């Protein structure tokens, strides 16, 4: 009897974990397709108000606070990426005429 319960609980856990992994794969695939097609900004501008509203409607407490923090963190990261999208990488410096580092002095 106890082994049947344990098997059921493990199976349920495996199904939930598989669902979470599948959802993550679909989300990443969608983001890559939107970004390559140049539609990520438009999709984000349409989805951001909905996600912010969903995060703010959560009940107070541990799970609600965690959801709000996760959504705010993700949106802040996307805002940071948008601001720095056109910037050159930090190691991209203009080269000297000869291209040799010692000639820059």
Q: Tens of pLDDT along 21-41? A: 999 999 889 888 888 888 878
Question: Does some domain include residue 73?
Answer: yes
Handedness of CA 90, 91, 95, 101 (dihedral sign): positive
Question: Does some domain include residue 51?
Answer: yes
Question: Does some domain include residue 10?
Answer: no
- Compute the distance between CA of residue 29 and CA of residue 79 in angstroms, rounded to an integer: 20
Residue, of 60 and 95, whose pLDDT is higher: 60
- Give the pLDDT mean for 59-68: 70
What's the whole-model pTM score? 0.49
Domain assignment of residue 77, given as a range: 39-82
- Work out how many domains the chain is built from and give that number: 1
Question: Does some domain include residue 101?
Answer: no
Phi, psi dihedral angles at 52 (to 5 degrees):
-60, -45
């Amino acid at each position: 009897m106890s082994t049947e319960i344990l098997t059921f609980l493990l199976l349920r856990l495996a199904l939930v974990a598989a669902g979470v992994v599948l959802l993550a794969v679909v989300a990443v695939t969608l983001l890559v397709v939107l970004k390559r097609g140049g539609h990520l900004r438009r999709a984000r501008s349409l989805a951001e108000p909905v996600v912010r509203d969903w995060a703010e409607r959560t009940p107070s407490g541990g799970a609600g606070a965690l959801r709000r923090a996760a959504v705010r963190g993700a949106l802040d990261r996307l805002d940071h990426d948008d601001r720095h999208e056109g910037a050159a990488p930090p190691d991209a410096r203009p080269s000297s005429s000869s291209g040799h580092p010692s000639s820059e002095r």
